[in-house]
A and B are shown apart, each in its own frame.
Chain A
């Protein structure tokens, strides 16, 4: 009888969970001002293996800006929430190595979530994780041969812009931001972002870009009502 009651209660909770009160936060990031011209990665063409993978010499990708100033690769996150990470059960994030470049260059994961590094190139890479010294995240450096198995990493502690680099190809670097909750997003090429299923409440929303800096906005999330927050970052 006792077991039956527990099972019924658990089932009720499981059914009720998807309908827990929550709202989405959406918005657009815009860049004000003219960003500095991206630099051509001249050493790309010096590499005998990589130079044939791409017809064009790649440039740095710090300011990915649309025609109306829409800014991509901005990490938007809800502040003041912790301990809500869904960890390893979250869908793994993918970091691909394609044409001797990291795709995407900016990404975000939860603590404990898997980050899968894939080598889609016919050349050897290494994945060198470089967390900040006191972050509590481990430093790792693993080789990945052409056609080699995916490498899987995870991070136990939150950290903004943890650097990942390839020491074989020195122009290859990416940043992953780690949060201990699922309420974050990376802005798309059209500058938009969406953070889904945020519990109702008042929050501080942070938008952080590698070069354009960081801004915060206050936001109130109400059940079933999308909250809209736009950010305008300035080119330094």
Chain B
């Protein structure tokens, strides 16, 4: 059950994982619009919405900032549902009994809630519907084999991640903690990457990818791609810190900063900057720390553009334009240039909500693309060769067990297999 042997591609599962990733991207966009519009506190309560159950909040009240925040919460619920289904699907037919039991528990809880709090009938109804859906769907649940143990664990991690993310978002509202928003934003990016990775791992391509020979020099390239991806993650955290300060643009001009290469950050200059800007929306005053953060964001952005450029050039040089990695590296380069432009436009547009949100999405896609490349390097590079050899060995052993013809000692060793592959190339 837990070995790579049982790991087989499942096009429907992979398509569903892709759909979950797409929904997560939409959720990220909704979250970006919430912060870009400064509407994070437009719904003062959680998990309710103005006292209503989330799903029963009247549409007529979806106005102004409430629209952005409430839509974000609903999309969060949708992604939560999709992730739960995905995690269960990875367990295949063995999830059926658990679904039935959990469905019955939820139905019982709904009945209990209805008796105990009849005025909160909408909560009981939602709980009951979830239980009934879970119970009923268990009978029509896919009868496929469970995925490999590591995949099931990733699915479980995604489920825990999406629950944690929802709780973090709610606590941000009820505890009035901007700092929680930074964790909420960072976890959102990591969760998106995880769901994208699940879509990749369940794809036919991942299962059938051929190993790629690497020269000694080229073996450094996966590490460069990994370092660049980590730099992008750091940049996203910096961006989340800036975004969740709710102070607007700490530096209003670009490419210069307050008309200089390095902006003045003394108390008097910062006070003057605060006095001179006329805010049309409620913003916190800017601080020298925020100016420093934005300068760091600009510097790291320049480093990332350079690093992605080097990665793309090296990948093309080593693998050519026809390889999947070569094509991905080119897309990565195009995206990072577009992202740099979006960053500049965010400043030139005085942080227009749609442009700032597009910039956030660009960051998420850059991180996902970087992670894809890291995983592909892992899969098709030297590590992949070893993994492939291990898998071949396990297959051979299984065959010998079934037919009793081959002795395990005759199965190719992982290292020999890897060496043979290298020689062939």
Contact = CB atoms under 8 A, between A and B. Distances in A.
Asked if A pairs with B, the answer is yes
Contact of A167 (B39, B271, B275): B39
Given A130-B282, A167-B65, A236-B272, 10 more contacts: A36-B276, A38-B278, A42-B280, A43-B281, A124-B66, A168-B63, A171-B281, A171-B282, A173-B281, A211-B278
A124 B280 CA distance: 20
B65 A169 contact: yes
Nearest to B274: A211
A60 B44 contact: no
Q: What's the interface size class on B, roughly?
A: 20 to 34
Contacts of A171: 280-282
Given A36-B278, A123-B63, A167 B38 contact: yes
B401 interface: no
A39 interface: yes
Closest 7 CB pairs of A and B: A173-B282, A167-B42, A165-B282, A141-B44, A168-B64, A170-B281, A236-B275
Contacts of A43: 280-281
A143 B50 contact: yes
Nearest to A41: B280
B61 interface: yes
Q: Is the interface of B mostly helix, strand, loop or mixed?
A: loop
B340 interface: no
A170 B278 contact: no
Interface in B220-279: 271-272, 275-276, 278-279
B41 interface: yes
Nearest to A126: B44
A163 interface: yes
Interface string A89-115: 000000000000000000000000000
Given A47-B63, A49-B63, A143-B50, A128 B41 contact: yes
A207 B279 CA distance: 22
B44 A142 contact: yes
B48 to A, nearest CB: 11
B63 A124 contact: yes
Nearest to B175: A139
Contacts of B38: 167, 170
Contacts, number: 80
A23 to B, nearest CB: 33
B275 A168 contact: no
Contacts of B42: 126, 167-168
Interface in B41-64: 41-42, 44-45, 50, 61, 63-64
B63 A170 contact: no
Interface in B344-365: none
Given A47-B64, A141-B176, A212 B275 contact: yes
> In the complex, which of the residues A36, A43, A60, A141 has the most CB atoms of chain B within 10 Å of its own CB atom?
A141
B275 A213 contact: yes
Contacts of B96: none
Nearest to B63: A49
A161 B344 CA distance: 32
A205 B41 CA distance: 37
A60 B279 contact: yes
Nearest to A60: B278
B40 interface: yes
Contacts of B64: 47, 49-50, 168-170
Interface in B260-312: 271-272, 275-276, 278-282, 284
Contacts of B278: 36, 38-39, 60, 62, 211
Nearest to B45: A143
A140 to B, nearest CB: 9
A17 interface: no
Interface in A22-77: 36, 38-39, 41-43, 47-50, 60, 62
Interface in B1-49: 37-42, 44-45
B71 to A, nearest CB: 14
B176 A139 contact: yes
B337 to A, nearest CB: 30
9 contacts: A36-B278, A43-B280, A124-B50, A124-B63, A141-B44, A141-B176, A171-B282, A172-B282, A211-B275
Contacts of B280: 39, 41-43, 60, 171
Given A39-B280, A142-B44, A170 B275 contact: no
Interface string A203-216: 00000000111000
